[in-house]
Amino acid sequence: MDKQYTPPDIWTHDAESGGKWASINRPVSGATHEKALPLGKHPLQLYSMGTPNGQKITIMLEELLALGKDAEYDAHMIKIGEGDQFSSGFVALNPNSKIPVLVDHSYDEALPIFESASILVYLAEKFDVLLPKEIVKRTHVMNWLLWLHGSAPYLGGGFGHFYSYAPERYEYPINRFTMEIKRQLDVLDKQLADNEFLAGDELSIADIATWPWYGNLVLGNLYDAKDFLQVDDYKHVQRWAKAMLTRPSVQRGRIVNRNWGEAWEQLENRHNAEDIDNVLKLQPA
């Protein structure tokens, strides 16, 4: 490295040195401004953005609808680059100011659910699908769901930050996080060598949680790092990622609360199935 960093005796926040996300990152929690959240007509209200963590929930909701469940929902865009997650309305639902947040209005008092793994478990239990009741099978699913919940920060907050978003590229952190991401891809590849899905032969919330991160990564939809990471070497992850992408729920859920990419990949707010249908019609044949 060209220069060494010597930590000061006491750390202070430097809002000018944090790169792309410096303006929205703070060392304290709480609201920065007063703003109420929009409210749609369905009992399930999602406040999110189509990042990998956001895609987990919209793919899950679309899978529930495909299974014939009464899971209609409104999805409202939270523009994290503009600090929407620090509004008073959002902070009241999630004091941690992170997307996604789901609110279920089907009870006497509205129930907010935050943390993507918690939302997936909640929806699976509410609609009795994609999470087995039998303890052995359920434990396999929970193992992989929580593996992803612990691993994704290395991919997003670690590798993704230093490879794509940091103000400068530094060799040491990129090497450190690249090694860990390739190890995680190897873990997945070995598991998927003998299993159609992560926890066995049935789709589960573990697959729905993992695809937006590692599926997008190996298909070249995340960080533009396919060649750098040699993702084609992970044959079984590739097979699984491509198979998941053929599911209508993945094709539909991945475009919700999104305002970047091709025109057929962008739907800022979703209120009914036709909203997605109209966007997907724009996809080239």
| pLDDT tens digit at each of 285 positions of the chain | 457 889 999 999 887 666 666 667 889 999 999 999 999 999 999 999 999 999 999 999 999 999 999 999 999 999 999 999 999 999 999 999 999 999 999 999 999 999 999 999 999 999 999 999 999 999 999 999 999 999 999 999 999 999 999 988 999 999 999 999 999 999 999 999 999 999 999 999 999 999 999 999 999 999 999 999 999 999 999 999 999 999 999 999 999 999 999 999 999 999 999 999 999 999 998
Where residue 210 sits, what CATH number does that domain have? 1.20.1050.10
**Quick check: is 236 in a domain?**
yes
**Quick check: is 283 in a domain?**
no
| pTM above threshold 0.85 | yes
**Quick check: is 118 in a domain?**
no
ω into residue 7 within 30 of 0, thus cis? no
**Quick check: is 36 in a domain?**
no
Number of H helices, E strands in the chain: 11, 4
**Quick check: is 167 in a domain?**
yes
Structural domain total, the chain: 1
Domain of 196 in residue numbering reads as: 135-248
Can you read off the two tokens belonging to residue 82? 């503009």
Phi, psi of 121 (to 5 degrees): -65, -40
**Quick check: is 117 in a domain?**
no
**Quick check: is 238 in a domain?**
yes
**Quick check: is 34 in a domain?**
no
d(CA 87, CA 33): 5
d(CA 207, CA 235): 17
Can you read off the two tokens belonging to residue 251? 């094709």
* Residue 139 CB coordination number (10 Å): 12
d(CA 115, CA 8): 34
Phi, psi of 75 (to 5 degrees): -120, 115
